[in-house]
Amino acid sequence: MSEPLRSEVRGHVLLLTLDRPAVRNAIDPALAGALARAADRLDDDPGLRVAVLAGDARAFCAGTDLRAAARGERVSVDGRGHYGILGRPPGVPLIAAVEGFALGGGLELTLGCDLVVAGEGATFGLPEVRRGLLPDAGALFRLPRRIGRGRALRLGLTGRPIDAATAAEWGLVDELVPAGEAVDRALALAEEIAANAPLAVAQTLAGLRRGGALDDAAGWAMTAELRAPILASEDLREGIAAFTEKREPRWTGR
């Protein structure tokens, strides 16, 4: 039996590829477990600084495997939540590289990523209401924050999909590229992020993930909390030294 998730290390980047093409990369318990293990790996290995999550040319992800759901199988993993990655994502940036369909939980999987790169042929949608279902993998609260209440209502209540150009216009996609180039562009973006100071990236990411729901007072308190380890870090001293000495920094993540 083949593994449902392929992984490949490229420098400081981990490329994760959903590999269930016969069901458009729909997520069953085995794939959810594999995603949870990948999240653990990203948190445990300091050499991995960014992850790219991809599907194939036909489909990024069609969401929950309904046959598995009909058998009563869970696609939630203890400690990591829905799909093994959406409840508690790893502490490194996640970039979705979307080609083909990102429907239902597949769209919700992109919402759990920090950045989304999509090929021009990609399609996004929440068809759950057409099947008597509820979007339950994060769309109900993440989608309005991402694209606004009205657009989220249009997607959620009609079940009608949108093309990649519309998704980019609405802010669901961060970067639109020619069809077939999403993975390459996502990897290039990941390498650009991975070249920066790891601790600074991690703390900035943590702040940006939390900060959108905070008022100013709580935001200032969070900023002070996240800044403290940066001010005491070796990477800060290295960054300043590299700037003054006109050389590339040598980051240690400490």
What residues are annotated to the active site? 108, 128
Among residues 96, 103, 170, the alpha carbon closest in space to that of 139 is found at 103
Rounded to whole angstroms, the Cα distance separating 89 from 102 reads: 19
**109 near 137, Cβ under 8 Å?**
yes
DSSP 27: B
Rounded to whole angstroms, the Cα distance separating 22 from 17 reads: 14
Could you please report the per-residue DSSP string of 59-127?
EEE--B-HHHHHTT---EETTTEETTTSSS--SS-EEEEE-SEEETHHHHHHHTSSEEEEETT-EEE-G
Rounded to whole angstroms, the Cα distance separating 152 from 142 reads: 9
Rounded to whole angstroms, the Cα distance separating 195 from 136 reads: 35
Q: Which residue has the tokens 């990941």?
A: 190
Rounded to whole angstroms, the Cα distance separating 41 from 186 reads: 20
Task: Name the phi and psi angles at 22, rounded to 5.
Answer: -65, -25
